Amino acid sequence: MKQDMIVILDLGSHENTVLARAIRALGVYSEIYPHDITVEELKALPNVKGIIINGGPNHVIDGVEIDVNPGIYNIGIPVMAAGHDKALCEVKLPEFTNDVEAIKAAVKSFVFDTCKAEANWNMTNFVNDQIELVRRQVGNKKVLLALSGGVDSSVVAALLLKAIGDKLVCVHVNHGLMRKGESEDVVEVFKNQLKANLVYVDVTDRFLNKLANVEDPEQKRKIIGGEFIRIFEEEARKLDGIDFLAQSTIYPNIVESGTKTAKMVKSHHNVGGLPEDLKFELVGPLRQLFKDEVRACDLELGLPYDMVYRQPFPGPGLGVRCLGAITRDRLEAVRESDAILREEFKNAGLDKKVWQYFTVVPDFKSVGVRDNARSFDWPVIIRAVNTVDAMTATIEPVDWPILMKITDRILKEVKNVNRVCYDMSPKPNATIEWE
């Protein structure tokens, strides 16, 4: 089923993604395109019911004021302006807001009354469409996927399993920097329950040996990312008849990689840097989805709740939460304390309330007392933050009884630890992660 679409033309607004999400929340599909899209390109897009020109402060580039192609006003599709005065009808959107409800109210009449769009954007239709598209693209050939166990790669795996079954080959690399039980969960869900063709590679020693005595956070990230690519390449070369590489890129990744009116926030890739002789065609079934839609898609596909609402996790894993040079004993302290924190937050219902929470263990010790004797051990630092867009973050005011229970358990159950601290620093000045 082809969804009706409202096209947003980016004429320098900061709020394109919020507008797109608001329209999708009305049940109508929406995508963002550059201001200078041609009439031919616009006509080639499927089921376009309306166009919104979204103006804003970035409408001047190199001293020249930009504008949309004037031909778009004559192609028979309703055009609305937000912060731009040349369209057929104009609306003022709430400025600098993440209030999806307010934006929905502002554009609802245009979407349904003027454009006559049908509210047919939902996860059932999306999943069915993607299964059909993947089958058409892949045919009887094989697809390779790097399955981390994160939300995005998990939904790609589940969707492709429905589409092509055992023609999907998943590779899960356990680099020894996963949270407690995560690799085991990947094997249990995908290999044992969903019967996926899963290659499990445990290369803990290889990673930790490469990271020995490396203190600089950026160097750690480069080693972890580079080594992952090499291992994935090695596994790919062992497999015969692979023609496609599945990517778990989602829509914000594409938007954040830069537009003509916005500088790049950060570059995104999933399995980048593979050698040119590994010639794969790409399959990217999530390219249209925002993060909340990815989770809705996960639930539609029947994945376990704990996997769908898995905590955001940095690419280098616990490697950037074991501060400074990584040692096996301190890494284990991070893993065990993090598991206690997650368990107690879940027991208290905070797992559904707090955006991200984790522990870090720094590379220094302090004097303490254990078993009536002097100890010289590490502190564990708890971090729990709330955010909408990860650009700013506030601290969760966890009740003292919960913090005391977590502290008591960490001090009793985690080896080589004698203090527990709670990080009270918002972003800014602090970042969410410590490294």
Write the pLDDT tens digit of every residue in 30-43: 999 988 899 999 99
Residue whose tokens read 């933050």: 385
Query: 350 vs 113, 243, 344, 386, CA distance in Å?
Result: 42, 43, 8, 11
pLDDT at site 86: 53
pLDDT at site 257: 53
pLDDT at site 306: 79
Query: 144 vs 138, 166, 243, 265, 268, CA distance in Å?
Result: 11, 11, 8, 29, 19
pLDDT at site 279: 77
Tell me the sheet residues that pair with 248.
none
pLDDT at site 315: 78
pLDDT at site 58: 63
**pTM, full prediction:** 0.78
Tell me the sheet residues that pair with 282.
245
pLDDT at site 60: 59
pLDDT at site 313: 81
Question: CA dihedral defined by 94, 99, 101, 106, rounded to 10 degrees?
Answer: 10
Query: 331 vs 49, 148, 173, 361, 374, CA distance in Å?
Result: 54, 19, 18, 8, 23
Give me the amino acid identity at 201.
V
Q: What is the DSSP letter of 93?
A: P
Tell me the sheet residues that pair with 380.
420
Separation of alpha carbons 170 and 172, rounded Å: 6
Across the 435 residues of the chain, what is the mean pLDDT of every consecutive 10-residue run?
87 82 94 91 93 76 76 90 58 61 89 95 92 94 91 92 95 94 92 93 96 94 90 88 88 62 40 65 89 87 83 85 96 98 96 93 94 93 86 92 98 96 94 92
Angle between helices 123-138 and 151-164 (to 10 degrees): 60
Separation of alpha carbons 57 and 59, rounded Å: 6
